[in-house]
Amino acid sequence: MQNTDRTWAEIHLDRLAHNYHLLRKHTPSDCRFLAPVKANAYGHGAVTVSHTLADLGCDYLAVACLPEALELREAGITLPILVFGYTNPKDASILVENHLTQAVFSREQAEALSLALKGTEYTLSVHLELDTGMGRLGFPCRGALCAPADALIAMKLPHLHIQGIFTHFAVADMDEDDYTRAQFETFIKAIDWLEQESGQIIPLRHSANSGGALRLPETHQNMIRPGLALYGVSPNPELIETNLRPVMELKTRIIQVRDFVEGESISYGRTYKTTSTEKIAVLPIGYADGLPRILSGKMNMLLQGETLPQVGRICMDMCMLNVSTLKKVSIGDVVTVFGQDGSNSQSVHTLATLAETIPYELLTRVAPRVPRITFP
């Protein structure tokens, strides 16, 4: 049963399809599409999103860890899946048996995975990760060294099949194209060196995240992996204007309406006091649902197409909304946290800016107890 009695997230799969096709239009027909569905598909529901992407013709999926990958396999997802993060080498056979591909970012990790499969006929498909300027995971690949010798060693290990290679852009969604292009140039030189020294061709090459896919077509290579843009949110609205459609909308309902006189305090800490006779609605959504407490008294919500202020501190399971300007408000009325309400709308970017964070965090923070209601 789809429960909308309390708080819920609406997932619009037609918008997912729209964004997928829009991103496809930015790439050549022979360029593959890797869809990141890590962190429960950025909070949207990994299983449902993955099935939809498979139907749309997506080529590849990516997750953060082995449990996320196994969840998709158990749900019948047969697309290739890349595990971006660390997997304990003792689970190397599980990766192979479930037809999963592992990202390899160091010589130690590569050797441990290969050793774990010693004595078996198993071969694990891997994608090498190069660090070209992100300063995170990856074989270091900067400066005078065109490509790390350790990556070359990894390519020659038994039980590992090098299916792909990738890097992460640090600022592709910002106005620092020189840095991104330098990263890309380093990446290309590294691949050329590795292929020449190893005598192997690395089939898949990917570096273009949402920013790269939308802004820097020279970085597309033969596979792109846009994440945030796939879910309908521009990685930088000021720099990247798109026709993306947000896939998620967060909704809640009024559970009580009360009249307060001047000078009464609302919620913990008494940070808000009424300045006149005010009508306050209680909403069953709080920081345990993913609504950041830092937004207390800073954000608005939408009701009956109007923009109304949230007041008082956001609690674990509830918050309050000032509805004094509306003529009639009833228990059960739907309130939009972000999304569309009539002709009015509020973006997750707006809330992220107020919370001094990024849309990625707000989307992935929507708690598991908030049901995802899907629309075809």
Positions marked catalytic:
38, 268
Element spanning 57, H or E: none
Q: Cα–Cα distance between 251 and 340 in angstroms, integer?
A: 10
User: Which of helix, strand or coil describes residue 165?
Assistant: strand
Q: Are 305 and 343 in contact (CB under 8 A)?
A: yes
Under 8 Å CB-to-CB from 338, ≥6 apart: which residues? 246, 248, 249, 250, 346, 347, 348, 350, 351, 362
Nearest alpha carbon to residue 103 among 171, 21, 58, 165: 165
Rg (CA), the chain: 24
Q: How many CA atoms lie within 13 A of 114 on its CB side?
A: 18
Question: Contact at 8 Å (CB) between 32 and 223?
Answer: yes
CA atoms within 13 A on the CB side of 168: 15
Q: Which amino acid is at 63?
A: V
CB 362 within 8 A of CB 290: yes
User: For residue 2, which phi and psi values (nearest 5 degrees)?
Assistant: -85, 110
Instruction: Name the one residue in this structure whose structure tokens are 């796939």.
Output: 230
| Residue 14 token pair | 């037609």
- Tokens for 243? 């026709």
Q: Which two tokens stand for residue 374?
A: 């899907």
Residue 6, H or E segment = none
